[in-house]
Amino acid sequence: MLRATIAVGTLLATGGVVSASDSVTAAKWTAEATPENCLLTGALADPTGKSAGKIEIKLNRSGYYTLTISINDSAPLAYWRFDGVDDLNESVTYQTNPYRYLTRGGDAGERARREVAEGRALSLLPRPGVDRHRLTTGTRGAPESLRVFDQCVANFKANPEPPPPARWTASTQGGRDCTLRLSDISGVRGLDIFFGARPKSTLTFDVTAEENFFKSGGILRIGLPGDPNPFVYDTALRTTKRDTRASAVYTAIRSNPVDMTFTPHGGKPFAVRTTNDGLAVTGAMFDACGTALRAETLPDQASFSELRHTVNEVDDSCELTATQQIDGNAIWLTLLSDGDKNTLKMTRRTVGNGHLIQEMRLASLGGPERTTAQDVTFELDEAQFAALRRDLTGKGREYRIAMSSQKGYIARFGGPHALVEAPMFEACVQAKFDTR
């Protein structure tokens, strides 16, 4: 925070009809194969044959499909949605605003590819279905492009990219929640487990099974020490009454790797196992976040557009960043520690017609008394770093922004508006480097 100082359309599958996009001048379907993606692209044309956008079907190496619709400004800003192909229509029915650009994951891309493979053009109509605005891909070049696309897909399947080792991560969104997540558990794509904490709420445990990998979700079963009844979570019934043993699951997982069984709906069960990789640090960060949110009274939240803090933990460092918006300027303060070196970086940029900052005064943060530079990085010794960390989890540190000789602002790094981020950073540093 600052204080001033004195101074719906429709997608159809059509066949057997020659459309404008099948004219001599219309673009063909194209395909591209890269080390990371298989891409099938159909150019959209209006009834006169003029280019009006494109439809992209993409599969990445991890096996995730996306369907992207891009419509040129010459076409109406409208509610474009599928019609006549019910399974595709499901992908955009929840679109609530007019659009010219839309991306959908899940199996929408795979369904669209199937329509093309069956020899049907993809056509778009803006709601309420004005035919004179129809946009169509046509079918020219589709068979040849599909061969390239499908060969790319086959190559990916024959040479799958090994998943990265599963590792726990801790995060917060907006400073009023905490999440501890393990993604792709046991290397199983799309299967994640995570714990959550919020003010005045008990610990929660959730499981997600991405539709692209588990079309109908599944059931996770966990055996708890000393409990004859397994903890059961059905991803298809997330809104049902929560199991009160979430804290017991958390305690078990924090103690040792836990064996679990996941049964996809309509499939066979298979074993998965949690890991301790990253858990000592991220678990400490999650606990620090939850402890901060248990305070009887919480400070008012700063406007997200005015001030926000973020915290990140990676293999070799801990990072706390504050982003400040003032008079058309964006200011970033980033505190970074790798256990050997502790640095603070200030970056500022004027946006559009924003007022120019005359100078930054960063002595209170261990930096220069006055600087006109837009990028400044300075190193903190151990004593400076320890003192700054204490203040970040308390009242924070004030620094000054001079707009002119008569006008300026006092801003704050950390403190009440980094309610959970500052303690999470502190927990990261202590768990990783134990410097105090």
**pLDDT (tens digit, 9 = 90+) per residue, 151-194?**
999 999 898 877 778 899 999 988 889 999 999 999 898 999 99
pLDDT tens digit string along 374-417?
Answer: 999 999 999 999 999 999 999 999 999 999 888 999 999 999 99
CATH architecture of the domain covering 307-433: Roll (2.30)
Averaged pLDDT, 89-112: 80
Q: Collapsing DSSP states into helix, strand and coil, what is residue 124?
A: strand
The angle, 0 to 180 degrees and rounded to 10, between the axes of the packed helices 421-433 and 382-392 is: 140
What's the pLDDT score for residue 277?
92
Model confidence at 2: pLDDT above 80: no
pLDDT tens digit string along 27-56?
Answer: 789 999 999 999 999 999 988 888 999 999
pLDDT top residue among 264 and 12: 264
CATH of domain 168-293: 2.60.40
Q: How far apart are CA 188 and CA 3, in angstroms?
A: 50
Model confidence at 346: pLDDT above 90: yes
Backbone angles phi, psi at 381, to 5 degrees: -80, 175
The encoded tokens of residue 143 equal: 């068979």
Q: Collapsing DSSP states into helix, strand and coil, what is residue 377?
A: strand
The encoded tokens of residue 282 equal: 């991220």
Residues ≥6 apart with Cβ < 8 Å to 190: 184, 208, 209, 210, 212, 213, 214
E strands, 235-369, are 259-264, 270-273, 307-314, 317-326, 329-337, 342-350, 359-361
Question: In the beta sheet, which residues pair with residue 193?
Answer: 182, 207
The encoded tokens of residue 313 equal: 């933990």
pLDDT tens digit string along 357-375?
Answer: 999 999 999 999 999 999 9
Q: Collapsing DSSP states into helix, strand and coil, what is residue 120?
A: coil
Q: pTM for the full model? A: 0.69
Order of strands across the sheet that contains 204-209? 168-171, 178-182, 191-197, 204-209
Q: Tokens 């990085």 correspond to what residue?
A: 377
Place 7 in a pLDDT band, splitting at 50, 70 and 90. very low
CATH of domain 10-158: 2.60.40
What's the pLDDT score for residue 298?
83
* Distance set, CA 346 to CA 303, 335, 372 (Å): 21, 9, 11
Strands 231-234, 37-45: pairing is: unpaired
Q: Are 122 and 43 in contact (CB under 8 A)?
A: no
Q: How far apart are CA 87 and CA 67, in angstroms?
A: 13
Domains 10-158 and 307-433 share a fold: no
What are the residue boundaries of the structural domains of the chain, listed by start? 10-158, 168-293, 307-433
**H helix or E strand, kind and range, residue 14:** strand 10-14
84: left (phi over 0), alpha (psi -120 to 50) or beta: left
The angle, 0 to 180 degrees and rounded to 10, between the axes of the packed helices 279-293 and 246-255 is: 150
Q: Are 318 and 342 in contact (CB under 8 A)?
A: no
E strands, 151-257, are 168-171, 178-182, 191-197, 204-209, 218-222, 231-234
